[in-house]
Amino acid sequence: MLFKFLKNYLNIMRKINNDTSLFKVKVNDQQVSKQKAQKNLKTTRTSRITFALNANVCQRAENWLNSRWVQQDFTYPSLSELIRKSLQAYQEGKIKVNETGRDKHSPKREITIRFSNSDLLNFYYSLPYSQRTAIVEGSLSNYLEKMNAK
């Protein structure tokens, strides 16, 4: 009973929040609809994506990060930042990825990454759907090898 009530309540609230014709907002001493006011407002939209990456590659990346932090090098504050940088290097063509060399039966670890850069997010969504995780995993592995070579 309570669940049914909450479900109906949430549906009604969504409809009210999505209906922009009911609300007016004052912008520069003029009343305009909320939809027009939102067009004038610039916001940074973030999106979170969860990957199931090879646990060995993640462990190698975390060990590399810890060794950098011991040396007081905080260029990469987190594993997420390292993954974003590796994907960006792949996007720019600085590293190559072998999508077929992925071990599909190795232990996996879920990693959630927040993308605030819309260019990088659009690039991720432009990748072939069935190869996205393989490309992210391969770019991280190759990026670590490139960084170790320096």
What token pair was written down for 43? Answer: 């916001």
At 84-117, the pLDDT tens digits run: 999 999 999 999 888 667 777 889 999 999 988 8
Indicate the burial class of 80 (C-beta count within 10 angstroms; 0-12, 13-18, 19 or more).
middle
Which tokens is 68 given? Answer: 């950098």
Q: Where are the domains positioned within the chain? A: 2-40, 47-149
Structure confidence at residue 43 (pLDDT): 42
Indicate the residue type of 38.
Q
Between these two residues, 33 and 74, which has the higher pLDDT value?
74
Give the least confident one: 5-19, 44-58, 78-92, 105-119.
5-19
Say if residues 20 and 34 touch (Cβ distance below 8 Å): yes
> Which residue do the tokens 């605030």 mark?
116
Q: Which whole-number Å values give the CA distances from 61 to 23, 24, 89, in the listed order? A: 49, 50, 16
Helices 132-149 and 79-91 pack at an angle, to 10 degrees, of: 100
pTM for the structure as a whole: 0.67
- If you ran DSSP here, which 8-state letter would residue 26 be given? E
Contact by Cβ (8 Å): 134, 87: no
Residue 50 belongs to what H/E stretch?
A: strand 47-54
Tell me which amino acid residue 116 is: S
- Give the helix/strand (H/E) hosting 114: strand 108-115
